[in-house]
Copies of this chain bind each other. A is one copy, B any other.
Amino acid sequence: MIAITATNDFVIKFANVNGSGSASANEMFARAIIRMGVPVAPRNIFPSNIQGMPTWYELRVSAEGWNGRRGGCDLMVALNAQTWDRDIAEIEPGGYLVYDSTRELPRSKFRDDINVIGVPLTAICAKEFANPTQRALFKNIMYVGVLTALLDMEFAVVEQLIAQQYRGKDKLIEGNRRAAKIGYDHAREHFACPLGLRIERSNGVGDRIFIDGNSAVGLGAVYGGATVAAWYPITPSTSVIEAFSAYCRKYRTDPDSGAARYAIVQAEDELASIGMVIGAGWNGVRAFTATSGPGISLMQEFIGLAYFAEIPAVIVNVQRGGPSTGMPTRTQQSDLVACAYASHGDTRHVLLFPEDPHECFTFAAQSFDLAERLQTPVFIMTDLDIGMNDRLCAPFDWDDSRCYDRGKVMSAEELDEGKSFGRYLDVDGDGIPYRTIPGTHPSKGAFFTRGTTRNAYAKYSEAGQDYVYNMERLRRKQDTARKLIPAPVLAEASQSTRYGVIHYGSTSPAMAEALAQMEADNVHVDALRVRGFPFADEVNAFIDAHEAVFVVEQNESGQLRSMLINEGDLNPKKLIRVLHYDGTPITARFIADAISTVIEDRKVQPLTPSLNKVMS
């Protein structure tokens, strides 16, 4: 029988039961590989449930550092009886199965074309540990030990990680170490180590850091100067606030008084959380909330208020599968339209699309400058895939000379100097008016904020011309926004080409890999990664410069494509949908296949409208 052989380049999958403590063992295993200098990209596939349901941890080991999902599975660690059959079926021919052989299983439960490694984990634990909770927990770290041996990894690295993780809790260090060692020794004793798959020390990781996007957003909000966070728990956004809270405690606790230089309020729902953010933004702090689809739907009325009354606010939308409660623990990019045109009436909002934790940090910090400069809500559009999974990415950086851009805030001094103040007056031609913060001046600059129409001096007015003035100014403001948001990133093909591809957000690593694959197959496509909305001028220029442009998205209806067409008055025939929306992260393989097929077809048959069809 064949056995897959690969070094630093394969996929391991752990099939576990949720709530069983496997998550931290799996993560430690991933870190161990990183410590050996080999890049990994892990993904949690978990249910909307607390305990007892299937959960998977998919770990892609990639010498080249591809962060996208690869698909397939070379080594399955199958520890969940409920999902046994499908887990076994998923293994690539010639792949490996590691399982708990304590209970004997009939031959029919296995496959002939895979390599089976049975370790009696439960039995060993029962023998080695007396305490029943210990037994259950140490089983997890024990299979880490087994894998360490099977994959030829350095046991010292695992030991180090255990020591770090349980620093100060000597008993736990000892127990975990022992469990890992038992597993390690057992494997070396009973199996030919290493398998065809192995990890070899390398320096593929470089200075990259390993963190999830939600933590990065939380940290970015600290660096961006956010002081108020109001939120309501919802998967997959909850950890944004948990991280913000932890980093605030660390960095924003007044050293003298121990008091907090921030305020975090768990609101009673999403209407209240966005209301608090708006109240806080109006009153001169940088405030944000984090939520997901259902929260976005609930916030619609308030978002319209912030837009029309022109109040800075940052909304982090960690997207999950929609519509409705949808797939709460799966990933999608399907809230673009709901955010870009949020609320009734004619609106248009600023969106940012970070690709990874590094940009989650950068954009989160920048979003507050944008929100205050533009006096409007700014959405950070991440998703479960980058939000809740650790990723290797460029280290965070910060320029200490950078100052927060608080935008056009009129001070008491300026008012005293006699600067004229019209809250909704476009004095600079960029559509952005001046504002004052409550409490600024005893007699000047106070105004009445409202969501109803008013004149440039914030007086209630039902006059058509006041309304039109305001709407036209808001349009100008959107043009200003276009210039301020992060510019798109161009990746040119090695040869000049008629084909372009536009993508955004968490699609980035799969896209990069797909481009490399296609280049290898002599298919050349220029790629533009869009990073914000309203779209920068470069986006239209890019589309103009190509005969056909693929738009790769993780939603069903091609939402970014619609926005491109609408906003750029582009011919839709030119924009070819590449859509993946079943809730799993998109793969390079999927993208490359979809694009290559169309390009191949076009070689045979020249450009016709009928070619423009949905790719998924």
Does A304 lie at the interface of the complex (its beta carbon under 8 Å from any beta carbon of B)?
A: yes
The distance in angstroms between the C-alpha atoms of A330 and B348, with both chains bound, is 21
A215 CB within 8 Å of chain B:
no
Give Cα A503–Cα B347 distance, bound, in whole angstroms.
21
Contact A581:B305 (CB < 8 A) given known A323-B347, A326-B453? no
Which B residues are CB-close (under 8 A) to A297? 300-301, 304, 343-344
How many Å lie between the Cα of A332 and that of B341 in the bound state?
A: 17
The distance from the CB of A263 to the nearest CB of chain B, in whole angstroms, is: 26
For residue A583, which residues in chain B have a CB less than 8 angstroms away from its CB? 453, 462, 464, 467
CB of A566 closer than 8 Å to a CB of B? yes
User: Is A344 within 8 A of B293, CB to CB?
Assistant: yes
Q: Are B323 and A307 in contact (CB under 8 A)?
A: yes
Interface string of A540-584 (1 = CB under 8 A from B): 000000000000000111010010011001111100000001111
Contact of A324 with B346 at beta-carbon distance under 8 Å, contacts A47-B462, A581-B471 already known: no
Q: Which of A306-333 contact B (CB under 8 A)?
A: 307-309, 321-330, 332
Distance A468 CA – B327 CA, assembled complex (angstroms) = 12
CB distance from A383 to the nearest CB of B (A): 12
Chain B contacts for A464, CB-based, 8 A: 330, 582-584
Known A-B contacts A300-B297, A468-B581, A566-B565; the reply to A334 vs B338 at CB < 8 A is no
State whether A572 and B569 are in contact (beta carbons under 8 Å apart), knowing that A307-B324, A324-B305 are contacts in the complex: yes
Q: How far is the CA of A612 from the CA of B571 in the complex (A)?
A: 13
User: Are the C-beta atoms of B345 and A321 separated by less than 8 Å?
Assistant: yes
Say how far A185's CB is from chain B's closest CB, in angstroms.
38
Give A346's nearest chain B residue, CB to CB: B556
* A451 surroundings in chain B (CB, below 8 A): 323-326
Determine whether A294 belongs to the interface, using a CB cutoff of 8 Å to chain B.
yes
Complex CA gap A307/B557 in Å reads 15
Q: Are A345 and B300 in contact (CB under 8 A)?
A: no
Please tell me if A450 contacts chain B, counting CB pairs below 8 Å: yes
Chain B residue with Cβ nearest A347:
B323
- Cα A565 to Cα B48 in complex, Å, equals 37
Q: Mark A420-461, 1 if CB is under 8 A from B, else 0.
A: 000000000000000000000000000000111100000000
Contact B338 A324, beta carbon cutoff 8 Å: no
Q: Which of B296, B325, B475, B612 contacts A569 (CB 8 A)?
A: B612
Beta-carbon contact of B582 and A452 below 8 Å? no
From B309, B329, B332, A324 is in contact (CB under 8 Å) with: B309
A48-B452, A307-B324 known; A345 and B341 CB under 8 Å?
Answer: no
Is A465's CB within 8 Å of the partner chain B? yes
How many copies of this chain does the complex contain? 2
Return the contact of A571 from the options B332, B465, B571 (Cβ within 8 A): B571
In the complex, the answer to whether A345 meets B332 with C-beta atoms within 8 Å is: yes
Asked whether B338 lies within 8 Å of A323 as measured between CB atoms, the reply is: no
Q: Is the CB of A346 within 8 A of B581?
A: yes
A377, chain B: closest CB distance, angstroms: 12
B337 x A324 contact (CB < 8 A): no
Q: How far is the CA of A565 from the CA of B450 in the complex (A)?
A: 34
Task: For A570, list chain B residues within 8 Å (CB).
Answer: 572
Contacts of A330 in B (CB 8 A): 462, 464, 467
Complex alpha-carbon distance, A465 and B582, angstroms = 7
Query: Which residues from chain B contact A471 at a C-beta distance below 8 Å?
Result: 556, 581
A335 on the B face (CB < 8 A): yes
Please report the C-alpha to C-alpha distance between residue A328 and residue B451 in the assembled complex, in whole angstroms.
10
Would you call B294 and A301 a contact (CB within 8 A)?
yes
Interface residue A123 (Cβ < 8 Å from any Cβ of B)? no
Contacts of A555 in B (CB 8 A): 346
Does residue A260 face the partner (Cβ distance < 8 Å to B)?
A: no
Q: Is the CB of A565 within 8 A of B572?
A: yes
Say yes or no: is A246 at the interface (Cβ < 8 Å to chain B). no
What are 23 A-B contacts defined by CB distance under 8 Å? A48-B452, A297-B300, A297-B344, A301-B324, A304-B323, A304-B324, A322-B346, A323-B344, A323-B451, A324-B345, A325-B452, A337-B341, A338-B343, A346-B556, A346-B557, A348-B557, A465-B582, A468-B582, A471-B556, A562-B562, A562-B566, A569-B572, A569-B573
